[in-house]
Amino acid sequence: MPTLRSVLCTVLAVVAEAALGGAVSAGFQVARGEVIVVMDADLQHPPEALGAVIAPVLSGKEELVAGNRYAWAGGTSGLAGWHRRLVSWACKALVHALVPSSRRLADPLGGLFAVHRSVLEGVALRPCGYKILLEVMVRCQPRSVGNVGFDFALREAGKSKADLREGLLFLRHLACLAAADRGDVVAPIPPILASAGPAPGVQ
């Protein structure tokens, strides 16, 4: 994969078919820090929240800490419109019902989280679509999990990628993760729907 390196960051280019989950999985493989953070770049996840998310992992208190859009009233203002809030709450309830290990996460479908790299080592991730946090939670089974509230801001640019295709991918992925959470053996997601490939872990 082509990369652009500087003193401060590495820009990693991935194929479009990988979607967000595949891109994040590829990022895990090239990350070098002890704590790895995932967040959206459209500022709906405020950079000011990073300290609270990272600190418990950095101190060793938690192995994974996730942002929680539902911590207080108004925190979900970035979910524009009542229908998006309704869909978000319904999906969260469905995930908690079908995937017991996700119940440690107040916001299992969020995109802001920090994880210690040791949690990812040796685990084959098979992300599909945009819900990488749930994938990490089920496949890696971190021993300790924390939740940090933050204000999910309005989108400043671009538009949501949520559509019918992403909804179907989410339901398929959820079925696979629910089976994996129960310990069932399931067929892998076809490559055309999944990421560019399973990530062997952090290197």
String of DSSP letters for 150-182: ---PPP-SS-----HHHHHHHHHHHHHHHHHHH
Tell me the whole-structure pTM to 2 decimals.
Answer: 0.78
CA-based nearest residue to 106, from 80, 76, 139, 86: 76
Name the 3-class secondary structure at 193: coil
User: Model confidence over 167-189: pLDDT tens digits?
Assistant: 888 899 999 999 999 886 554 44
Give percent of the chain above pLDDT 70. 74
Q: How confident is the model at residue 87 (pLDDT cuts 50, 70, 90)?
A: confident
Mean per-residue pLDDT, 86-111: 93
